[in-house]
Amino acid sequence: MARPKIALIGGGQIGGVLAQLCALRELGDVVLFDIVENMPQGKTLDIAEAAPVDGFDVSVTGTNDYKDIADSDVVIVTAGLPRKPGMSRDDLIGVNSKIMTSVAEGIRDNAPDAHVIIISNPLDAMVTLCQKVTGFPSNRVMGQAGVLDSARFQAFIAWELGVSVKDVNAMTLGGHGDTMVPLVRYASVNGIPVLELLEQKYGSAEKANEVMTAMVDRTKAAGGEVVKLLGNGSAFYSPASSAVAMAESILKDQKRVLPTCALLKGEFGIDGFYVGVPCVLGSGGVEKIIEFKLDATEQALMDNSVAAVKELVGSMGL
């Protein structure tokens, strides 16, 4: 039986970590594409030469030719510029939409049966553009943002409460921008509400809410926090890990419920827009969007986030 094949479009910071993670987990053979000559070949040669040490039996190769992504099962796209300090994700739309158009054409013409996971920013707009250009069914074109935004929220909760990250459950919805919606009411430690645990720790509901609000605000600004510290470029380890979790769920038909940027068709009262929501990811890609009741405050935050996505997508003339 042939091994699965994973194509990575963009061989920069995230692309390199993606290639290494896919290899270490033996998810399939990896092809790393970039327009820069020799760079993807060099990066993948470096990773492949670690195989005897790490013991992975998959091939990892680099290319500048879209033909080499033929027959890919999953394509992960990071092509595009990252933010510089002081920039918002939305500032990248002009340059990255040109890049995304050419990337989507390359995928459409060379890997027409692939599942596509977009990472490039501004995320919600880039996923929308990729789906339009490829014409792929929406279950096969999705974006990674929510797994990372949720992971950041989970990490802050775990650090605050002094418990293992493994036991924290928390999720963000909405667009991948300043308007994202970390869900406070559903945040739990093995089902025990985080707000209750904070109240135990601090002795008052007021202080618990204050601490929670600070974690929500830090989650929303977490990408910028890393950008500022790095001084050059944006987060790359955690975005790569997050996309690999999505790819793995698809390739192994795990049916994990992961917050995914997916095309909504009436769910949560939203029609025709890509937004972050919990989805079942399996061999059919986005197999199901899981809808659940939001309270009035959550719905208002979600609507606000969707309005920002609509404005951005509208600015591309889509």
Interface residue list for ligand TXD (CB under 6 A) = 9-15, 34-36, 78-83, 92, 96, 99, 102-103, 119-121, 123, 144-145, 148, 176, 233-236, 239
CA distance 284 to 250: 7
Q: Are 186 and 173 contacting, i.e. CB atoms less than 8 angstroms apart?
A: no
Q: Are 27 and 3 contacting, i.e. CB atoms less than 8 angstroms apart?
A: no
- Closest contact distance (angstroms) between CB of 218 and ligand TXD is 16
- Closest contact distance (angstroms) between CB of 141 and ligand TXD is 14
Q: Give me the catalytic one of 43, 176, 220, 256.
A: 176
- Closest contact distance (angstroms) between CB of 120 and ligand TXD is 4
- Closest contact distance (angstroms) between CB of 251 and ligand TXD is 20
Question: Which residue lies nearest ligand TXD, judged by its C-beta?
Answer: 12
CA distance 104 to 131: 8
- Closest contact distance (angstroms) between CB of 88 and ligand TXD is 10
Nearer to ligand TXD, 242 or 306 (CB): 242
CA distance 55 to 78: 27
Nearer to ligand TXD, 92 or 208 (CB): 92
Nearer to ligand TXD, 119 or 212 (CB): 119
Question: Which pairs with CB-CB distance under 8 Å and at least 24 residues apart come from 197-204?
Answer: 197/161, 198/160, 198/161, 201/161
DSSP string, 146-162: HHHHHHHHHHHHHHHHT
- Cβ contacts of 217 within 8 Å, gap of 6 or more: none
The residue count of the chain comes to: 318
Helices 146-161 & 205-220 angle (0-180, nearest 10): 140
Nearer to ligand TXD, 78 or 219 (CB): 78
- Closest contact distance (angstroms) between CB of 266 and ligand TXD is 25
- Closest contact distance (angstroms) between CB of 261 and ligand TXD is 8
Which of 10, 246, 55, 2 lies closest to 142 in space, CA to CA?
A: 246
CA distance 103 to 245: 22
CA distance 174 to 303: 8
Residue with tokens 């769910």: 267
C-alpha dihedral (54, 4, 60, 145), degrees to nearest 10: -90
Q: Is 176 labeled as catalytic in the residue annotation?
A: yes
Side chain identity, residue 68: D
Give the residue numbers annotated as catalytic, written as ranges: 176
